[in-house]
Amino acid sequence: MVGSVAMAAGLLVLVTGLVAAPVGALPGAAARPTGTALGPEPLASPLEVGITLAPTTTTAGSTVRIEVVASGGVPLVNSTGGDYYILTVLFGDGGLRVLDTCNPCTVDHTYDRPGNYSVSAIAADGTSTTANATTRLWVRSATNPVVTDLEYAGLGAALALEAAAAVYLVRRRRAPPPRTSAPVGDPPKPS
């Protein structure tokens, strides 16, 4: 069978003259893992990543546990056969950590200063496709009393109202006074 395809010993081979070569060993042929059928690759579900914080509100100097989990896409496979992704956690305070041997992954991080932080996770799969997720973290000063999210919202609304009132007053002061009387003096006489 010159120039034809034959099945021999469980391997798909291309017979060319006296030489038989497994598909994938030929120049220009794509290698496939053993045991997979030729044909289009099955469509993977979209790559997704999730991030959770515990707690979501804390005080400066406290440790926050961050859990990141990815799914879908084309995962990488480790030596024991487990699926994983390249996961990067951006802490929002300038720090980051790359996690590449776990899924889900957990990392602890300490925030030294009070503030409102955006904590993000980026997942990359075996095809370099990426997905990201972001959540918020409130870090209070260790010396201030506990402030709830509702109180933060109320404080923000009060500050916005004060700012609007200040803008109104400044604009009102800059406006010229309204004209209520006729000009002083007689109108000019024609010459």
pLDDT in tens, 149-181: 554 555 566 566 666 665 665 555 555 556 666
| Residue 97 CA: distances (Å) to CA of 48, 94, 112, 177 | 19, 11, 17, 61
Q: How far is the CA of 188 from the CAs of 34, 179, 183, 185, in angstroms?
A: 106, 21, 12, 9
18 inside domain: no
Burial 172-184 (b: 16+ CB within 10 A, else e): eeeeeeeeeeeee
d(CA 148, CA 166): 27
- 159, 135: one domain: no
Based on the domain organization, do 127 and 60 belong to the same domain? yes
- Tens digit of pLDDT for each residue in 108-138? 999 999 999 999 999 999 999 999 999 999 9
The answer as to whether 117 is a domain residue is yes
- Does residue 19 lie within any of the structural domains? no
Inside any domain, residue 17: no
Note whether residue 5 is domain-resident. no
Alpha-carbon distance of 138 to 143, in angstroms, equals 15
Does the pTM surpass 0.75? The reply is no
Residue 134 belongs to what domain range?
48-140
**pLDDT tops 50 at residue 24:** no
Number of independent structural domains in the chain:
2
101 domain residue, yes or no: yes
